[in-house]
Amino acid sequence: MVTIYDIAQKANVSAMTVSKVINNTGRISEQTRKRVKKVMEDLNYIPNSNARSLVLQQTQILSLLITDITNPFYTSLARGAEDSAKKLGYRLLFGNSDEDYIKEQDYVDMILSTRVDGVLFAPAGDGSLKNLEKLRAHNIPFVILDRAVPGIESDIVSGDSRQGARNLVDYLVSLGHRRIALVNGSLDVSTARLRYEGYAEALQLQGIALDEDLVIHKSYREYKDEDQLARLLDLPAPPTAIFAANNFLAVGVIGALRKRGIRVPEDMSVVCFDDLDLSSALDPFLTVAAQPSYQFGAMGIQLLVERIQGSAVPEARKVVLPSELIIRSSAKTIGE
């Protein structure tokens, strides 16, 4: 491998001079600089960033940990993070926890040993607490994405789950629905709790009694489980509308409904949190509370880098990105 010493020798200077040329530090005569640069090109020299990191005590690497790479919400978020990181001169080390605390922990260990400069962390849920505490114990700056974790104070970029849920339920009520089911994520996850709260609040404000029989808590990823849904539909007074707490659950719900011959929206209205990606453009069908996922990533990196570089950054900044109600055709006026 070509090192600065190879360059130094060929250019008849010291390694130190080469280093200065590379980093544009110190005073170097124009002549020397040119000569060194020439040799670097001739020899195809590429600095070894491991050696650099070792002495500098910083890597210029940021880590992004998400929970589900197949979900367009996170894909788009990743894109925002990547663009932003690139712009700011950082590399992105990428991890996918699959909503699994163990996998998440493995990634935390990897992150720690890589000595990344900071972490953009989308927690799997409340159980992420000890993983985040570990990062903190090692003084790695991090910004939390999407889901708050009780017990951790930090910068966080999140959506407004409560408000988004209320908008969705309000909308359904405005269509005449009163038996509205909630197919929720696990209560172990802050956004699921907030969506549940928003759902409950909206109902209360509309003077509709909350019926716990109409509420299912599963996981954001268990969109294929149809048993619980069956129970919902076999109720003496089944719902006329379903609010799915995320996009995947909505897809699962609709799939299961169709299997039973229940048409959406004719026989059942369905709305959800989070949009689907481009392919839904084929059939702009789902009525959703869409979140600005790209912004989650871009903004997250920005906060993170500010915290890494900035001296006087306020503690625990909370950025809340609003969701947008996009009315399409998966919900309709009741009884029409």
Q: How far apart are CA 278 and CA 123, in angstroms?
A: 26
Write out the binding residues for DNA, residues 19-48 only, by CB under 7 A: 19-20, 22-23, 25-29, 31-32, 47-48
28 binds, among its own copies, DNA, none (CB under 5 to 8 A by kind): DNA
Dist. CA 267–CA 147, nearest whole Å:
33
CA 114, CA 50: separation in Å to the nearest integer? 10
Size of the site for its own copies (CB under 8 A): 51
Residue of 150, 145, 152, 215 whose CA lies nearest to 185: 215
Residue 326 phi, psi dihedral angles, 5° rounding: -110, 110
Question: Is 61 near DNA (CB under 7 A)?
Answer: no
With CB under 5 to 8 Å by kind, the binding choice for 182 among DNA, its own copies, none is none
What tokens appear for 159 in the block?
């959506």
3 binds its own copies (CB under 8 A): no
Long-range contacts of 31-40 (CB under 8 A, 24+ apart): 35/11, 36/7, 36/11, 38/11, 39/7, 39/10, 39/11, 40/7
Asked if 326 interacts with its own copies (CB under 8 A), we say no
Q: Please tell me whether residue 79 binds its own copies under the rule CB under 8 A.
A: yes
Yes or no: say if 201 and 180 are a contact pair by the CB < 8 Å rule.
no
Smallest distance from its own copies to CB 278, Å: 6
What is the residue whose two structure tokens read 């009315």?
A: 327
Q: Which stretch binds its own copies (CB under 8 A): 9-17, 26-34, 112-120, 159-167?
A: 112-120
Give the binding site for its own copies (CB under 8 A): 1, 44, 46-51, 53-54, 57, 59, 69-70, 72, 75-76, 78-79, 82, 86, 91-96, 106, 109-110, 112-115, 137-138, 247-248, 251, 254-255, 276-283, 285-286
Q: Where on the chain is the footprint of DNA (CB under 7 A)?
A: 1, 3-5, 12-17, 19-20, 22-23, 25-29, 31-32, 47-48, 51-52, 54-57
